[in-house]
Amino acid sequence: MRFYRDLGLTDFYCRQVEPVAAVDDPKLGRSVAEELAEREGLLQAAIAAAAQSAAETAAQQTNIFGEEPAIKTRKGFSAPPEIAAAVPVEERAAALQLIRDEIGDCTRCALHTGRHSIVFADGSPTARLMFVGEGPGADEDAQGLPFVGRAGQLLNNMIAAMGLKREEVYIANVVKCRPPGNRTPEPEEANTCSPFLFRQIDVVRPQVLVALGATAATYLLGARQPLAGLRGRVHAFRGMSLIVTYHPAFLLRDPRQKKEAWADLQIAMKELGLKAPRQS
């Protein structure tokens, strides 16, 4: 049954078949065996058609690397704000608070209608390493903090594998309110919210920024490109190094890609002059 569901066939019904095996049916002028063979052929054709339609739908919803739903190309990207003047280290916490105050009880996009909390960020205002995700999920919406659910646990492990503590890095998202059903943010939502993210980045001014997944990479770089072509190297971004890697939620679905993600994090570590801690 699961196999059929995977093919997109969800409605099943039982039809009584006369137990007459290979007896001729005079009305049809052919054997029951022939009729059953024809029915079998029709069923196979229906399954093949459903499989093709399911594959086409999946291809529309998923990028060719099977990572995250592709972002629709209905709208372009808003230009990123000019790089702001550097904020002295001791003023960064207050500067971030000003951004949070400006966001206020935001109603700038449709996401506000379904949110419980605005998920601004977590971590150190003076971090050398910053992670950017896509948008809050249910756990984040409930707690008001980014990456506190299952994907967050994996991110914590990734940070620890780099020899860092979560409190030492800064974590934010492209959108600050949970998209319904954890869908990918719509371009108008991401374009409305991302100027605040750019301002957070400029205040924290990390040495290295890690984009987690295609949505973060897309809205940071302002271009929709396959993730596989972006990861594995350093991008110059607003005076810092940007590294693109898989989203932890994707790694939970496909743990085989963790090796590739670790290779990306090692690039980030090299940029930061960090060595991986010894495994005990």
Residues that bind ligand URA (CB under 6 A): 133-137, 140, 146-147, 151-152, 173, 249
Can you tell me the distance from the alpha carbon of 43 to that of 25, in angstroms, rounded to the nearest whole number? 21
By the 8 A CB rule, do 131 and 210 touch?
yes
Comparing CB distances to ligand URA, the nearer of 119 and 267 is: 119
By CB atoms closer than 10 A (0-12, 13-18, 19+), residue 182 is middle
Q: How far is the CB of 141 from ligand URA (least distance, A)?
A: 9
Q: How far is the CB of 93 from ligand URA (least distance, A)?
A: 21
Q: How far is the CB of 98 from ligand URA (least distance, A)?
A: 22
Q: How far is the CB of 229 from ligand URA (least distance, A)?
A: 21
Comparing CB distances to ligand URA, the nearer of 37 and 252 is: 252
Comparing CB distances to ligand URA, the nearer of 135 and 187 is: 135
State the Rg of the chain over Cα: 25
Q: How far is the CB of 162 from ligand URA (least distance, A)?
A: 18
Comparing CB distances to ligand URA, the nearer of 134 and 202 is: 134
- Tokens, residue 142: 């409930």
- Tokens, residue 275: 């060595």
Residues contacting 161, CB < 8 A, separation 6+: 262, 265, 276, 277
By the 8 A CB rule, do 193 and 115 touch?
no
- Sequential DSSP letters for 171-193: EEES-SSPPGGGPPPPHHHHHHH
Q: How many other β-carbons are positioned within 10 Å of the β-carbon of residue 71?
A: 18
Comparing CB distances to ligand URA, the nearer of 175 and 269 is: 175
Amino acid identity for residue 150 in this structure: R
Q: Which residue is nearest to ligand URA (CB)?
A: 133
Q: How far is the CB of 115 from ligand URA (least distance, A)?
A: 13
Residues contacting 91, CB < 8 A, separation 6+: none
Comparing CB distances to ligand URA, the nearer of 7 and 246 is: 246
